[in-house]
Structure 1
Amino acid sequence: MSDSVTHRGVVVAVDGSAPSKAATAWATHDAAMRNLPLTLVHVVVPVAPSAAISPEFAFPSDYFTWQEDQAARVLDEARRIVEDAPDEAKPRVVNTEVLHGGAVSALVDLSKDADMVVVGSRGLGAFSRVLLGSVSTGLVHHAHCPVAVIHDDAPEVGEDAPVLVGIDGSPASIAATEIAFDEASRRGVDLIALHAWRDITTVYELPGLDVKRLQEEAQLALSEQLAGFGERYPDVSVHKVVVADRPSRQLIEHAKSAQLVVVGSHGRGGFAGMLLGSVSTAVVHAVKTPTIVARSG
């Protein structure tokens, strides 16, 4: 791991919105738990005059000073959230950065040097009915590291609620499994390893299909994928769930009683150029439980 990655650690994008504040609180706890630095980042987005405005239009001379003042205010608010956390839940190193440019492109570039990027589900100005804003959507599609999406209205569950991970045997799923075991171990909670193997609705109607054999093979495959992780994380109690159903539907249902959901960026059968799979897309759009999408550079 490079010095730059070690320096930035867990990066959280802050903009003063309610989801951003929830993301800051979540990132604070996660960075402290993993003994990583926390980097609070605010992006100042350039504003171009509308086409309806005269080409000679010039912003007031103090406009850009106001932007910088706003950035400082937002970062101060975020730092206060960190400072208000219990001592055992505070990262030892907290940094702040102000970036200039497009929010998504700036954060995607920063993600090259981060262990994880944490973002609120929506930013300022997003329609309330939209589950994911443009920044969170852009990051889960393009970031170079895992991305955590946090809602300000996440369901309340106990501290002993499990971590849920979706597993399908793909490389992205293996990366998600690694994250899920680590998070469960550090939180001292159980892990639910979910494998839903039915991708089509008519599986029971296919002639000559041995559903019982497929179920047994799915259980064996899940056990094999988990074996190595169980040895590395003996403190984590794993509950295996193998069902003949669509993965997204089962993950969304089980997420209601979990404190964290972890999914891969794309699953089995995904094309190499596919940026986000249908299952992970469905999950991050449908659940309000904190969700990590396992991405890598």
Structure 2
Amino acid sequence: MPAEYGILVAVDGSAESEAAVRWAAEEAAMRHLPITLMHVIVPVVVSYPVRYLKADFQRWQEQNAQSVLDSATTIAQQATDAELDIRREVRHGGAATELIACSKKSEFTVVGSRGLGAVGAGLLGSVSRGLLHYSTRPVAVIRARDSLPDRSLPVLVGIDGSPASDAAAALAFEEASLRGVDLVAMHAWSDLSTVMSGGPGQDVYEQEGAEILGERLAGWQEQYPDVKVWQKIVRDRPAHWLLEEAARAQLVVVGSRGRGGFKRLLLGSVSTTVAESSATPVFVVPSGRRD
């Protein structure tokens, strides 16, 4: 049954949100899905002596919401030649809270890496971080850039053997097949940056890493015979190597929490670093996305 919101996009008028709309519009056209542009009005709490300004400010918020949605609608229409089913919605409440709730009714949610009011180009905004921590559906994080990645480039996925990376592999094969491109699967046999090159047992670890990667990919390769897979084994620092390889990919797919994550934390250090720092669109996939 199709998700109510189709592809859900958080919009706030920032450059990152505009980039998210462009990317999501192309994705909606490719998948023949509706796209829902959502703007959340955050309640304002005021007290004397400026309480009398509250009504005027609320009217401005409503007008601004429609202006933001009008602009986002135009951007979506101009992003593709396809005829899109564009839906618009204004909600009231905490931005992250509302989007997390609505994300359950979407195929996936698209958000800019940071919105209005964000500090620091390398940091995730509070809304995008909240979605990545708590959404039970995939979340795509988009950074503002001059142009979208070349659609002929491969999809990149990080595999570490955890349940979340298994879910990421499933989505990565799906995305590569949908786009008609190759898939690069990367596995780091250690999360540590202190592993010595050529140290004792390194050959054994590399062999084990190759076996893990092969096992995790085998079933999906049978299901998607049209996808050519390139395997990459690296020694350590998975986030570093994923970011380096991301420069040669059109999409990066990572699990929300890897082998070193604590169960109480939905977002791992690798997925956080990649989502914060990659100029290439990043899909973060929770382990239960298929449930």
Q: TM-score by structure 1 length?
A: 0.90
Aligned to 1:261, the other structure's residue is in SS state strand
Matching residue's letter, 1:216: Q
The yes-or-no answer on 1:186 pairing with 2:178 is yes
Deviations 1:133-192 (A, max 9, x none): 111111111112111110112776432111110001111001111111111111111110
Aligned to 2:4, the other structure's residue is in SS state helix
1: CA distance, partners of 2:105 / 2:148: 32
Aligned to 2:267, the other structure's residue is in SS state coil
Structure 1 segment 149-164 matched on structure 2, within 5 A: 149-153=141-145, 157-164=149-156
Match in the other structure for 1:129: 121
Aligned to 2:90, the other structure's residue is in SS state strand
The yes-or-no answer on 1:278 pairing with 2:278 is no
Match in the other structure for 2:238: 247
Shift of 1:61: 3.5
2: CA distance, partners of 1:126 / 1:200: 30
1:106 pairs with one of 86, 98, 105? 98
Q: TM-score by structure 2 length?
A: 0.92
Aligned to 1:220, the other structure's residue is in SS state helix
Aligned to 2:225, the other structure's residue is in SS state coil
Aligned to 1:258, the other structure's residue is in SS state coil
Aligned to 2:36, the other structure's residue is in SS state strand
Aligned to 2:279, the other structure's residue is in SS state coil
Matching residue's letter, 1:14: V
Aligned to 1:10, the other structure's residue is in SS state strand
CA contact (8 A) 1:119 1:147 kept: yes
Matching residue's letter, 2:265: M
Match in the other structure for 2:37: 40
Unaligned segments of structure 2, at least 5 residues = none
Aligned to 1:194, the other structure's residue is in SS state strand
Structure 1 segment 1-297 matched on structure 2, within 5 A: 1=1, 6-49=3-46, 54=48, 57-88=51-82, 90-91=83-84, 93-153=85-145, 157-204=149-196, 209-295=200-286, 296=288
2: CA distance, partners of 1:147 / 1:246: 23
Matching residue's letter, 2:126: S
Shift of 1:202: 4.1
Q: 1:183 to 1:104 in 2, by over 3 A?
A: same
Matching residue's letter, 1:13: A
2: CA distance, partners of 1:256 / 1:206: 28
CA contact (8 A) 1:260 1:290 kept: yes
CA contact (8 A) 1:154 1:290 kept: no
Aligned to 2:53, the other structure's residue is in SS state coil
Q: Identity over aligned residues, as a percent?
A: 51
Matching residue's letter, 2:62: E
2: CA distance, partners of 1:291 / 1:25: 15
Aligned to 1:7, the other structure's residue is in SS state coil
Q: Which moved more, 1:126-135 or 1:36-45?
A: 126-135
1: CA distance, partners of 2:99 / 2:131: 7
Matching residue's letter, 1:177: A
1: CA distance, partners of 2:122 / 2:206: 37
Deviations 1:92-116 (A, max 9, x none): x221111100101111111111111
Cα RMSD of the aligned pairs, angstroms, is 2.1
Matching residue's letter, 1:45: V
Shift of 1:130: 4.7
Q: 1:260 to 1:154 in 2, by over 3 A?
A: farther
**Count of aligned residue pairs for this structure pair:** 288
Q: Which moved more, 1:161-170 or 1:54-63?
A: 54-63
Structure 1 segments (4+ residues) deviating >6 Å: none
CA contact (8 A) 1:155 1:288 kept: no
Q: 1:274 to 1:128 in 2, by over 3 A?
A: closer
Aligned to 2:3, the other structure's residue is in SS state helix
